[in-house]
């Protein structure tokens, strides 16, 4: 595996671990500064339970 690929994979794993520890409220505050496609990508990387929690929170706030 190339060094760039290893670094990218390591960064993605670390970021996923950090994101999974954040509350929905924290994620909402952070994601309000990102473009929609970046938010969709970030949510797609989360564990299923966290995705469902975020989707539920978004529906409640509409």
Residue 1: what pLDDT? 60
Residue 33: what pLDDT? 82
Give the span between the Cα atoms of 51 and 54, in whole angstroms: 5
Give the span between the Cα atoms of 42 and 45, in whole angstroms: 5
Cβ atoms of 20 and 47 within 8 Å: the answer is yes
pLDDT tens-digit profile, the chain (62 residues):
677 788 888 888 888 888 888 888 887 888 788 888 887 888 888 888 888 888 888 888 77
Residue 44: what pLDDT? 85
């Amino acid at each position: 595996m190339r060094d760039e690929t290893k670094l990218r994979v390591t960064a993605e794993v670390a970021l996923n671990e950090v994101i999974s520890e954040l509350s929905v409220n924290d994620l909402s505050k952070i994601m309000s500064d990102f473009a929609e496609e970046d938010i969709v990508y970030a949510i797609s990387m989360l564990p299923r339970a966290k995705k469902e929690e975020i989707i539920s929170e978004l529906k409640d706030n509409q």
